[in-house]
Amino acid sequence: MGRTREAGCLAAGVVIGAGACYCVYRLTWGRDESEKIWDDHDDDDEEESSDIAETGKGAKANAGAGAGARLQGDSKAKAEVSVELKSGPDVKAEAHLKAQSGGGLEAKAKALFSTLKEQASAKAGKGARLGTISGTRTLTPGLPCPGVRGGGCHPVRNGARAGGRTSGKSKGRTRGKSTRTPATSWPVRRGKFNFPYKIDDILGATDLQKVLNILERTNDPFIQEVALVTLGNNAAYSFNQNAIRELGGLPIIAKLIKTKDPIIREKAYNALNNLSVNAENQGKIKTYISQVCDDTMICRLDSAVQMAGLRLLTNMTVTNHYQHLLSYSFPDFFALLFLGNYFTKIQIMKLIINFTENPAMTRELVSCKVPSELISLFNKEWDREILLNILTLFENINDNIKNEGLASSRKEFSRSSLFFLFKESGVCVKKIKALANHSDLVVKVKVLKVLTKL
């Protein structure tokens, strides 16, 4: 009877264990077996499934009951549970019961059932963490998983793309292993060079010579930038404008306007801009004015480089000596006036106004082709500075046309020319008259002044 009883208890334990595994399958994975929990990449076929161990105090107690419970008797038995997650369309749960000869199998089977029940509860979202042999997986209850409607509680590997798995957006096939791509590294200027001076130091001739020597010999963009800013700040003082020219600094600075680095070009333009206030320096800088104009027209619209170039061109055209060097760029100036943003419009209008104040440039100026949309600058929606500049531009051109006697030779100008837009179309006059009731008093006075000259 003893052996028969042991055989019956063993069979009962096996039946109970199989029933418990079936319950777990039905409660957890069975209802969603048509859906994928993990979408492994084709290259990750060798990823092995890891065993899910029990967590929490209750799980540890049940694991102890299932794996280490010992009953007094002639022999001992050991129960071990292993739930395996395998890649592929099917998710299988296997429970392995390893029993040795001995008594107490009924108690061990109950402990096994309790352990499986706790695991099913944890799988349903009640557990917090599931420790594994190969790593740690974190449950994310309430967040949608790829390919699953509504909330889910699928395990997510720490260190892997957890954010992508819980974002609720299906992005096709994803890797089961960690495939985090390092952030794009952009080149950063080195800032640890021990430059001998501060950029706002007012230097003498000896120190300026040292800065020019550093600028001439180095290819480091950071050193070039610091040296150009230092020279530009010192060029704001009239005594240093002469010193830099006498030390041969103008060619050294101008050489850097050919570089591809936009920051270096901007700083070089700024330094030359401060130096161009000096009349003798303008005679040296005129050699580079055509290149500066071409680069300013083709660089990125409304960029800092373009604004620095326009400021330099504006300073170089304050006098009438070098304006003829830029007459070929009149159509580009008016195109930029239409396309640019607010600050670009202000700067380009200051540049064009310099040309309108020179009667010798009138014929070339009014004969160039301009976009018809330029008329939109006379609208009252613009602020005071835009309106005052465009009214000044119109006033100067109208005066020059009268003084140069160009009104009688209107047949020389095409319908797309500035002459036709400002003088013949009559649209500008209507727009200016509409500004007579402008709310800004300064604008109103300017409008009345222009209208009295028509």
Cα(149)–Cα(373) distance, integer angstroms: 54
> Residue 35 is encoded by which pair of tokens?
């859906």
Nearest to 26, CA basis, from 95, 118, 155, 120: 120
- Dihedrals φ, ψ of 155, to 5°? -70, 145
Write down the pLDDT at residue 248: 95
Q: What is the mean pLDDT of residues 102-119?
A: 61
CA 166 to chain centre: 25
Q: What is the mean pLDDT of residues 147-174?
A: 40
pLDDT tens-place string over residues 133-152: 333 333 333 333 333 333 33
Question: What are 417's strand-pairing partners?
Answer: 369
Q: Are 166 and 182 in contact (CB under 8 A)?
A: no
- Dihedrals φ, ψ of 338, to 5°? -80, -40
128: pLDDT strictly greater than 60: no
Nearest to 255, CA basis, from 239, 279, 272, 234: 272
Burial of 208 from C-beta contacts in 10 A (0-12 / 13-18 / 19+): buried
Per-residue b or e along 363-380, where b marks 16 or more CB atoms closer than 10 Å to that residue's CB: bebbbbebeeebbebbee
Write down the pLDDT at residue 193: 57
Nearest to 46, CA basis, from 101, 87, 1, 107: 87
- Dihedrals φ, ψ of 33, to 5°? -70, -15
* % residues pLDDT > 70 (the chain): 61
Write down the pLDDT at residue 75: 41
Q: What is the mean pLDDT of residues 362-370?
A: 93
Cα(324)–Cα(340) distance, integer angstroms: 24
165: pLDDT strictly greater than 70: no
Write down the pLDDT at residue 26: 65
DSSP symbol at 1: -
Q: Are 67 and 78 in contact (CB under 8 A)?
A: yes
DSSP 3-state of 132? strand
Cα(416)–Cα(84) distance, integer angstroms: 79
Q: What is the mean pLDDT of residues 301-313?
A: 97
CA 101 to chain centre: 69
Cα(98)–Cα(67) distance, integer angstroms: 10
Angle (CA) 354-360-363 rounded to 5° is 95
Write down the pLDDT at residue 19: 76
- Dihedrals φ, ψ of 390, to 5°? -70, -35
421: pLDDT strictly greater than 80: yes
Write down the pLDDT at residue 29: 55
Residue 436's pLDDT band, with cuts at 50, 70 and 90, is: very high
389: pLDDT strictly greater than 50: yes
pLDDT tens-place string over residues 390-417: 999 999 999 999 998 888 788 888 989 9
Q: Are 235 and 241 in contact (CB under 8 A)?
A: yes
pLDDT tens-place string over residues 51-95: 433 434 443 434 343 434 343 344 443 334 333 333 444 433 343
Cα(54)–Cα(78) distance, integer angstroms: 17
> Residue 68 is encoded by which pair of tokens?
């280490």
Cα(12)–Cα(106) distance, integer angstroms: 8
Global pTM value:
0.58
Q: What is the mean pLDDT of residues 274-292?
A: 95
> Residue 187 is encoded by which pair of tokens?
């080149």
Write down the pLDDT at residue 105: 54
Question: What are 152's strand-pairing partners?
Answer: 143
Cα(430)–Cα(428) distance, integer angstroms: 5
- Dihedrals φ, ψ of 132, to 5°? -125, 170
Cα(273)–Cα(233) distance, integer angstroms: 11
pLDDT tens-place string over residues 206-237: 999 999 999 999 999 999 999 999 999 999 99
Burial of 42 from C-beta contacts in 10 A (0-12 / 13-18 / 19+): exposed
